Amino acid sequence: MLIFEISAKGRRNHLQSPRHAPEASDIPAHLLRKNAPLFPEVSELQVVRHYTQLSRKNFSIDTQFYPLGSCTMKYNPRGVHQLASLEGFLQHHPLTPASHSQGYLQSAYELQQILSHITGLSAVSLTPMAGAQGEFAGVAMIRAYHLARGDTARTEFLVPDAAHGTNPATAVMCGFRIKEIPTDKHGDVDLDALRAAVGPHTAGIMLTNPSTLGVFERRISDIAQIIHEVGGLLYYDGANLNAILGKCRPGDMGFDVMHINLHKTFATPHGGGGPGSGPVAANERLKPFLPTPIVGYDGKHYKWLTEKECPQSIGRLSAFMGNAGIILRANIYARFLGREGLCRVSEYATLNANYLMARLQQAGFTLAFPDRRASHEFIITFKKEAKTLGVTAKDIAKRLLDYGVHAPTTYFPLLVPECFLIEPTETESKEELDNFVNILIMVLKEAQDSPELIKQAPHNLPVRRLDDLKAAKELDLTWRDSQ
């Protein structure tokens, strides 16, 4: 039932909006709205019940194990959410003078410092609103750097074939042509191909390390050298930072600029698709190009640094200062954990991933990179099962839902056929991991004994498999009154 279908003409809530609002008689009639928009007319209870019931049709971290690779679905602490939602923070207008914004500015400044230390890079701007916008900022900074030196020949960006889709999409938004770099059979960048691809047109490369294949790129220092030698710069996609917190730093690996997904590593909730936050960190060379605003501190007061103080900045990426509420949450999370807790994040995330990987290998699942250590995530492939049983990674993913666990990431990276990218995160207990292994073993057995059961899954959810073809061909994107 849609909210529109429980609507009744003339029903309305009276406490939520002002009463007796006068007509706007001074605005010329031809500029006024003639027909009211088609909104539902429902009581407060109907709204509350409708959306509460809808919420119960969702899987979430709060209700299910959610080992979605590359997404770091760790527990989102309640205390963080509550403290970031204090009245004083919520009421605070973004253009309030700095004199009356010191609480927020201090929190943002501290986070800049923390991120700078963790990444080994010298300066941070918190304004990008998600990973992809952080990527945009970083690649645009690299572009600005080359142009500032009068180097207009650098028109190409290198992206490994295992990269997340946002990487090539971002480089194109920044005006570059893409060159794809292949991966070798151990999951590392193919260095010969890289050497052959670089040259005076190379603006830079975008890399994730550990890569999207769940392994650490061991020759990262060689890669950095190859790129820097031809005058290019290195961009680090920080989606997998959870794996290396306190163990190594992108700045030391030779990266010039990177983003951090606060909604992954710093435990801010994903909200059913967002918001996130993608702060960008840069070394001395790229620091002048960071997007504004940035928070400065003179030893006494915190203040905004804008175009005036940062004349070479690539500019502004949003109307105000990015997803401020997420920045507050990340600050609180980082200070809850402190230096010891932050190091433990990568340790236990890696422990959980390697444990799960070992258990699954022992249970007969096929690892994509069996001779490699897992980072905080790893890949298994159902290529064999797809061939012999006709059961695909998608089928198995859907069956997992029936057993009340969320499916891992499927079909990403595109490089590994029929794959699951599994990221358990550090906040899951051994019992939860063991339970997941048992479920997977059971599902694999079902796939062998009764493949049709799996191919028809899910069976126990609010809906069964959806007709995506119909959805795309007979587009129904809004409800109309006539229906």
Ligand X SMILES: Cc1ncc(COP(=O)(O)O)c(C=O)c1O
Query: Where does this chain touch another protein (CB under 8 A) — which range of 190-198, 344-352, 380-388, 416-424?
Result: 344-352
Among another protein, ligand X, none, the one that 340 touches (CB under a kind-dependent 5 to 8 A) is another protein
Supply the minimum distance, in Å, between the C-beta of residue 241 and ligand X: 10
Q: Restricting to residues 292-331, which ones interact with another protein according to CB under 8 A?
A: 307, 314-326, 328
Contact 250, 223 (CB under 8 A): no
**C-alpha R_g of the chain:** 25
Among ligand X, another protein, none, the one that 70 touches (CB under a kind-dependent 5 to 8 A) is ligand X
Token duo for residue 357: 């990987």
Report the C-alpha gap between 233 and 211 in whole angstroms. 18
Q: How many other C-beta atoms lie within 10 A of the C-beta of residue 188? A: 20
Instruction: Write each residue from 136 to 175 as x if it is in contact with another protein (CB under 8 A), else as -, in one continuous string.
Output: x---x--x--------------------xxx-xxxxxxxx
Report the C-alpha gap between 263 and 270 in whole angstroms. 6
Among another protein, ligand X, none, the one that 79 touches (CB under a kind-dependent 5 to 8 A) is another protein
Token duo for residue 156: 């190409």
Does 164 help bind ligand X (rule: CB under 6 A)? yes
Supply the minimum distance, in Å, between the C-beta of residue 194 and ligand X: 19
Q: What DSSP state is assigned to residue 98? A: G
Report the C-alpha gap between 317 and 357 in whole angstroms. 40
Does 135 help bind another protein (rule: CB under 8 A)? yes
Q: How many other C-beta atoms lie within 10 A of the C-beta of residue 4? A: 15
Contact 255, 224 (CB under 8 A): yes
Among ligand X, another protein, none, the one that 6 touches (CB under a kind-dependent 5 to 8 A) is none
Among another protein, ligand X, none, the one that 401 touches (CB under a kind-dependent 5 to 8 A) is another protein
Paired with 206 in beta bridges are 235
Nearest CA to 306 out of 296, 289, 297, 294 is that of 294
Does 242 help bind ligand X (rule: CB under 6 A)? no
Does 122 help bind another protein (rule: CB under 8 A)? no
Paired with 281 in beta bridges are 124, 258
Residue 272 or 299 having the CB closest to another protein: 272
Q: Restricting to residues 277-306, which ones interact with ligand X according to CB under 6 A?
A: 278
Report the C-alpha gap between 118 and 245 in whole angstroms. 7
Among ligand X, another protein, none, the one that 448 touches (CB under a kind-dependent 5 to 8 A) is none
Supply the minimum distance, in Å, between the C-beta of residue 199 and another protein: 20
Report the C-alpha gap between 165 and 168 in whole angstroms. 6
Contact 171, 179 (CB under 8 A): no
**Within 13 Å and on the Cβ side, how many CA atoms surround 267?**
26
Does 377 help bind another protein (rule: CB under 8 A)? no
Supply the minimum distance, in Å, between the C-beta of residue 200 and another protein: 20
Supply the minimum distance, in Å, between the C-beta of residue 369 and ligand X: 17
- Reported as type and span, the H/E element at residue 433 is helix 430-449
Among another protein, ligand X, none, the one that 461 touches (CB under a kind-dependent 5 to 8 A) is another protein
Does 393 help bind another protein (rule: CB under 8 A)? no
Residue from the set 237, 256, 418, 428 that interacts with ligand X by CB under 6 A: 237
Does 61 help bind another protein (rule: CB under 8 A)? yes
Report the C-alpha gap between 202 and 224 in whole angstroms. 13
Residue from the set 195, 228, 305, 355 that interacts with another protein by CB under 8 A: 355
Q: What DSSP state is assigned to residue 31? A: G
Does 322 help bind ligand X (rule: CB under 6 A)? no
Report the C-alpha gap between 132 and 169 in whole angstroms. 9
Among ligand X, another protein, none, the one that 228 touches (CB under a kind-dependent 5 to 8 A) is none
Q: Restricting to residues 117-156, which ones interact with ligand X according to CB under 6 A?
A: 130-132
How many residues are given for the chain? 483
Residue 156 or 237 having the CB closest to ligand X: 237
Report the C-alpha gap between 270 and 224 in whole angstroms. 32
Nearest CA to 464 out of 476, 472, 473, 455 is that of 455
Report the C-alpha gap between 272 and 256 in whole angstroms. 32
Does 208 help bind ligand X (rule: CB under 6 A)? yes
Residue 85 or 450 having the CB closest to another protein: 85
Q: Restricting to residues 78-107, which ones interact with another protein according to CB under 8 A?
A: 79, 81, 83-97, 99-104, 106-107
Does 482 help bind another protein (rule: CB under 8 A)? no
Torsion of Cα atoms, 127 then 129 then 131 then 135, to 10°? -50
Among another protein, ligand X, none, the one that 212 touches (CB under a kind-dependent 5 to 8 A) is ligand X
Token duo for residue 49: 């019940």
Ramachandran angles phi, psi of 203, nearest 5°:
-85, -35
Residue 206 or 397 having the CB closest to ligand X: 206
Residue from the set 229, 347, 449, 452 that interacts with another protein by CB under 8 A: 347
Supply the minimum distance, in Å, between the C-beta of residue 159 and ligand X: 11
Question: Which residue ranges make up the site for ligand X (CB under 6 A)?
Answer: 70-71, 130-132, 164, 166, 208, 212, 237, 239, 261, 276, 278
